[in-house]
Amino acid sequence: MKVLVTGASGLLGGAVARALVARGDEVRTLQRRPSGVPGALDAAGSVTDPDAVRRAARGVDGVVHLAAKVSLAGEPSEFDAVNVGGTATVLDAARRAGAGLFVQVSSPSVAHTGSSLVGVGAQPADPVGARGDYARTKALGELLALARDEGPAGTSVVAVRPHLVWGPGDTQLVERVVDRAARGRLPLLGHGAALIDSTYVDNAADGIVAALDRAEDVHGRAYVLTNGEPRTVADLLGGICRAAGVRPPAWRVPAGLARTAGGLVEAAWRVRPPVRDGADEPPMTRFLAEQLSTAHWFDQRATHADLRWTPAVSIDEGLERLAAHYAARRP
């Protein structure tokens, strides 16, 4: 199969591209910097550039769309351009190329409106209630993708929502947790007892590949994808910190106070001058405070049955791999 993977320079996109190459697919990637995936053919460009996307999609059988603007802060127009406009551009290019299979990699945050999600499946994407521009635009992008009225005779689309993907080399979750913990700036919100699901990166990649293979049979549906091993926030953060050789968080902040403070920090961040080309992140936002103080764990039965996939790497094994990664980095 010839497959285009967008966003393959990221942790999860790279893992998906490597998994496809490993099973013998012909893989082309599209992102702004080299993917570094052996055996994949890189195409430089942005999903906001229709010409670059059309060139990259030419002749492919399937598309896995991961490229996105992922941040706790930024101009709303940037999120809209990449996460909504970029999705529309990639969808159009896939259709024009005659690609029969399309995976929209989304996020459980598209259905998070501030309260806990306990033992549920893929709830409807809600751009109105979503918290923050990332979640709002990912919700719009998912709705756009799933609204495509095609199927076996055209492009079959499935949305997959991996939850809290982590693993060796992760800069979005792991490195931020470790850095803040090492500087004593990582508190637990409330008692740290909220149960949350997470997904080891290899499992997330395998689940996305399974969705690509099953897209024709599950066209138009969305699935949350996790390890299926909910742990408390304190347990998960502590496991990551211990794997990296830093002290786990030991101080606490009331959840309500963190949410209020997060809202104030967001407001201040919107009017402050950008730092390092906008690469810095606010230390807390209301969305982040809600994520760290409310339960998020999901029923995986439909995901396993429909995608014919189950996670191969447990949380404990993933933490062992993470510890080995950090041990190899030490002098």
DSSP codes, 208-277? HHHHHHHTTTSTT-EEEE--S--EEHHHHHHHHHHHHTSPPP--EE-HHHHHHHHHHHHHHHHHSPPSTT
What is the rounded distance in angstroms from the CA atom of residue 53 to the CA atom of residue 44? 10
| Residues 147, 156, 1: CA angle, nearest 5 degrees | 145
Among candidate residues 134, 200, 223, 326, the one labeled active-site is 134
Residue partners of 257: CB distance under 8 A and separation at least 6: none
Dihedral of CA atoms 33, 175, 109, 254 in degrees, nearest 10, equals -150
| Residues 89, 94, 97: CA angle, nearest 5 degrees | 125
Strand positions, DSSP E, 15-172: 26-31, 41-44, 62-65, 101-105, 117-120, 156-162, 165-166
Q: Has 200 been annotated as catalytic?
A: no
CA distances 308 to 11, 210, 274, 293, Å, are: 23, 7, 45, 32
Tokens at 50, concatenated: 């229709």
DSSP codes, 17-39? HHHHHHTT-EEEEEESS----TT
Question: Helices then strands (H, E): number in the chain?
Answer: 12, 15
Region of residue 200 (phi > 0: left; psi between -120 and 50: alpha; otherwise: beta): beta
Catalytic residue numbers? 134
